[in-house]
Amino acid sequence: MTGFYDVFNGDADGICALQQLRLEEPRASVLVTGVKRDICLLERVEAGAGDELAVLDISLAKNAAALERLLAAGARCRFFDHHHPGEIPAHPNLKTFIDTAPDVCTSLIVDRYLAGRQRVWAVVAAFGDNLAEAARRAAQPLRLDSVRLAKLRTLGECINYNAYGETIEDLHYPPADLYRTLARYRDPFDFIVDEPVFEVLKSAYADDLARAEEIAPEMAGEAAALFVLPDAAWSRRVNGTFANRLAAAYPARAHAVLVKKRGGFVVSVRAPLARPFGADELCRAFAGGGGRKGAAGINLLPEEDYGRFCTAFRAAFA
Ligand SMILES: [Mn+2]
């Protein structure tokens, strides 16, 4: 029996990429997804000859072994993504649509594939992926006024917000459920007006941010500020957005947002927007640290390394 598998990142880009594809190619499929950070999704798929996979918005490099296994078993795969793919295997059953340009997200790649037929969802996704310029450019032929554009932006941000958390339990909706709800609407403006899920996400997002904004910094100077959020689902949902907002509000300052967790902290670092480098170097000096120059993190900073981290953080951005 032939099976269809839709394997997608649980963020706005992954969900809206699938939305576009399935509006054009409706079919019942097995949905494989998770929280945003859960990107090794192909290892969960058992498929073989006659099966078809659509993979959306997860890195090929991080799924290479599972992809090889599935291709060898005879599955056919279309792979749409914008992360660095590593070496792309040459296989007759694999078609890749990969573009790592910084102003491209997976939904814009799917938009290209579908010749723009579900463009409005690509606009939602680009806003959700923090590519506001690309979103506005993609929206031009749709001739939306600024009010409607702002609505699409809010929708993208809300769908994206729902993907943040350590596990599915932290989220308001499992991403597969959110996709199934979205899939009932061809038009995002109908979703915005008619779907209660939209209001739930919008107000939950505002609540989480308001809670974060009540937290006093552990340390705040001209050059750097450090915040510690409690071990709670809302902290895990909103810490990345909170760090980005701090960075935008204080562009000359570096920020560290720590979330308490058993045994230590999950760390997000944002270099000053005015001098966006050094975050990766700082984090790599600690076990489980990594990221990009402007934004980096540490998976688990042990409790006893807190003081050492504070000193290194201050020194890195003094
Ligand atoms: Mn993406």
Please tell me the distance between residue 160's alpha carbon and the centre of ligand 1 in angstroms: 10
pLDDT attached to residue 244: 86
Please tell me the distance between residue 228's alpha carbon and the centre of ligand 1 in angstroms: 27
Q: Please give the Cα distance from 297 to 318 (Å, whole number).
A: 19
Please tell me the distance between residue 34's alpha carbon and the centre of ligand 1 in angstroms: 14
Tell me which residue has tokens 């990009």: 292
pLDDT attached to residue 295: 87
Please tell me the distance between residue 73's alpha carbon and the centre of ligand 1 in angstroms: 28
Please tell me the distance between residue 2's alpha carbon and the centre of ligand 1 in angstroms: 28
Query: Position 64: which residue type?
Result: A
Please tell me the distance between residue 59's alpha carbon and the centre of ligand 1 in angstroms: 9
Please tell me the distance between residue 101's alpha carbon and the centre of ligand 1 in angstroms: 12
Which sequence spans correspond to the domains of the chain?
4-204, 216-316
Please tell me the distance between residue 52's alpha carbon and the centre of ligand 1 in angstroms: 22
Please tell me the distance between residue 309's alpha carbon and the centre of ligand 1 in angstroms: 30
Please tell me the distance between residue 218's alpha carbon and the centre of ligand 1 in angstroms: 33
Please tell me the distance between residue 220's alpha carbon and the centre of ligand 1 in angstroms: 32
Please tell me the distance between residue 15's alpha carbon and the centre of ligand 1 in angstroms: 10
Please tell me the distance between residue 111's alpha carbon and the centre of ligand 1 in angstroms: 13
Taking only the tens of pLDDT, the chain with its 318 residues reads 679 999 999 999 999 999 999 999 999 999 999 999 899 999 999 999 999 999 999 999 999 999 999 999 999 999 999 998 999 999 999 999 999 998 999 999 999 999 999 999 999 999 998 899 999 999 999 999 999 999 999 999 999 999 999 999 999 999 999 999 999 999 999 999 999 999 999 999 999 999 999 999 999 999 999 999 999 999 999 998 899 889 989 999 999 999 999 999 999 999 998 998 999 999 999 999 988 888 899 999 999 999 999 999 999 998
Please tell me the distance between residue 102's alpha carbon and the centre of ligand 1 in angstroms: 11
> What DSSP string runs through 34-90?
-STT----GGG----TT-EEEEESS-TGGGHHHHHHHHHTT-EEEEEE-S---SPP-
R_g (Cα) of the chain, nearest Å: 20
Please tell me the distance between residue 304's alpha carbon and the centre of ligand 1 in angstroms: 35
Please tell me the distance between residue 36's alpha carbon and the centre of ligand 1 in angstroms: 9
Please give the class, per CATH, of domain 216-316: alpha beta
Please tell me the distance between residue 106's alpha carbon and the centre of ligand 1 in angstroms: 5
Angle in degrees, 0-180, between the axes of helices 106-113 and 132-139, rounded to the nearest 10: 20
Please tell me the distance between residue 9's alpha carbon and the centre of ligand 1 in angstroms: 8
Q: Please give the Cα distance from 94 to 273 (Å, whole number).
A: 40
Please tell me the distance between residue 128's alpha carbon and the centre of ligand 1 in angstroms: 9
Please tell me the distance between residue 62's alpha carbon and the centre of ligand 1 in angstroms: 14
4-204 is a CATH 3.90.1640 domain: yes
Please tell me the distance between residue 316's alpha carbon and the centre of ligand 1 in angstroms: 29
pLDDT attached to residue 1: 63
Please tell me the distance between residue 162's alpha carbon and the centre of ligand 1 in angstroms: 14
Q: Other C-beta atoms within 10 Å of 222: how many?
A: 10
Contact assessment for residue 149 and residue 120, using Cβ atoms and an 8 Å cutoff? no
Please tell me the distance between residue 274's alpha carbon and the centre of ligand 1 in angstroms: 25
Q: Please give the Cα distance from 182 to 199 (Å, whole number).
A: 13
Please tell me the distance between residue 69's alpha carbon and the centre of ligand 1 in angstroms: 24
Do the domains 4-204 and 216-316 sit in the same CATH topology, yes or no?
no
